[in-house]
Each structure stands twice: as structure tokens, then as C-alpha cells.
Amino acid sequence: MDDFTITAHTGAFDTPDNSMESLEAAILNEVAVFEVDVRMRPNGTVVMGHDLITTNTDGVELSTVFSRVKQTNIMLNLDIKEVRVLAPLYELICEYDMKDTVFFTGIESFQVNKVKENCPDIAYYLNYKPSRIKIFSDDYQQKIIELMEETGAVGINCNHVYASRTLSNTLHNNGYKLSVWTVDKHYQMTRALINKPDNITT
């Protein structure tokens, strides 16, 4: 299969999640895309972090991450854990001139307007849980395409167990993409490739 990207999940290569060690491992292994979870400290500083940040010292500042990534050809998959990060995150993206280097995941349908308001020209996938049964229905396929049109997302980001070749074809035939997560086992990777996604997080 050609023309798809692999996103190295934060913590890949047996490194701590959301750490500079994890980023350096990704760079060393020449990955195309690296995923980080995005949170905010109480003082407004945007940082890497999966769980809620409750102090002004936890989490690696995203400015440090951006500064390092600017020295590479890696793209960043920014998994948005709370929409309050969007405005200050966009300022950082503009400051480091990284609009073409980042894209968002973790965006739910009810959060789309916040993304449009705060990050108007940043690509994002829509988190969605497609039905592996309903997907064979023309009406359901049309519903998915209408959802893409309404939200402005570049595609769907879903757990690999909900992906299918029919979903992939439906999206691709209408100019949208499929991203799947988190594919860690060999048999899962084989199945994921059969579904022809545009991005695999592993």
C-alpha cells in the first residue's frame, strides 16, 4: 500500500508518554508524524499531557517541542485534550510558523465550532465511532459525508476496530481521509492496512 503515514504514538519506542525522550526517539527513528497530547497549565502555558494538568510545573512546554520539531521534517499530530488550549495553541503555531506542520485529532463534533473560531486554518480529523454494520447502508454512508461537510474536518479519526474498507472507500471517494488508532499488534497492523487508511497511529 502506498501513500499513507505512520504516526508514532507518544510513548512509542518504550519511552515515557509526552516526554522529550519520546520525541527524540521518534526523530532518531525518522518517523513521518509524531503524536502529542495537548493540555494547559493553570497559568495558561500549553504543554504536553494526557491527564488534567493541575500545577504550573507539570508537563513539557509545547514551545520546547515546536522549537525541536522545527529542526526536522516531522509533522505533529496534536491530540487536543481540552478546547481551552486552542487559542494559546494557535498563537504558538503562528509564532513558530507551523500551520503546515501540524494537524489536530481528538476533536469531537460538539467541539468543531471552537476549532473554527480559534484555529481557522488548521486541518483536523473528527473523532468518530462509525458502525461496522450500518456502514454498508447508502443512507449511513451519506450521513457520514454530510457530517464531514458540516464539520469541515479533513476526515475521520477512529479506533482501528471500527474501521472498514467500505468506510475508507466512502471517505476517499468523496475527498476525505481515514486515520486509525492505536494499532500496536502485528495482526492489527495487517488488518489496518487492508482497510487502506491514510494514517495509522501506532
Rounded distance between C-alpha atoms, residue 185 and residue 93, angstroms: 33
Average pLDDT, the chain: 95
Evaluate whether 60 touches 20 at the Cβ level (below 8 Å).
yes
Mean pLDDT, residues 183-201 taken together = 88
List of residues 6+ apart from 92 with CB closer than 8 A: 46, 62, 63, 66
Hunting for cell 495509522 — which residue is that?
Answer: 200
Mean pLDDT, residues 27-56 taken together = 97
In this structure, what is the dihedral angle of CA atoms 13, 15, 21, 27, given to the nearest 10 degrees?
A: 10
Q: Report pLDDT digits (tens) over 44-64.
A: 999 999 999 999 999 999 999
Rounded distance between C-alpha atoms, residue 109 and residue 113, angstroms: 8
Residue 95: exposure state from Cβ atoms within 10 A (0-12, 13-18, ≥19): exposed
- Band of pLDDT at residue 1, cut at 50, 70 and 90: very low
Evaluate whether 37 touches 10 at the Cβ level (below 8 Å).
yes
Q: Report pLDDT digits (tens) over 87-106.
A: 999 999 999 999 999 999 99
**Residue 184 confidence (pLDDT):** 85
Evaluate whether 124 touches 145 at the Cβ level (below 8 Å).
no
**Residue 56 confidence (pLDDT):** 98
pLDDT over 90 (residue 6): no
Evaluate whether 74 touches 34 at the Cβ level (below 8 Å).
yes
Helices (H), 14-61: 20-28
pLDDT over 80 (residue 3): no
pLDDT over 80 (residue 132): yes
**Residue 162 confidence (pLDDT):** 95
How many other CB atoms sit within 10 Å of the CB of residue 196?
A: 18
Evaluate whether 135 touches 105 at the Cβ level (below 8 Å).
no
List of residues 6+ apart from 93 with CB closer than 8 A: 66, 99, 102, 119, 122
Task: Kindly state the percentage of the chain with pLDDT values over 90.
Answer: 89
Residue that wins the pLDDT comparison between 182 and 126: 126
Mean pLDDT, residues 3-32 taken together = 93
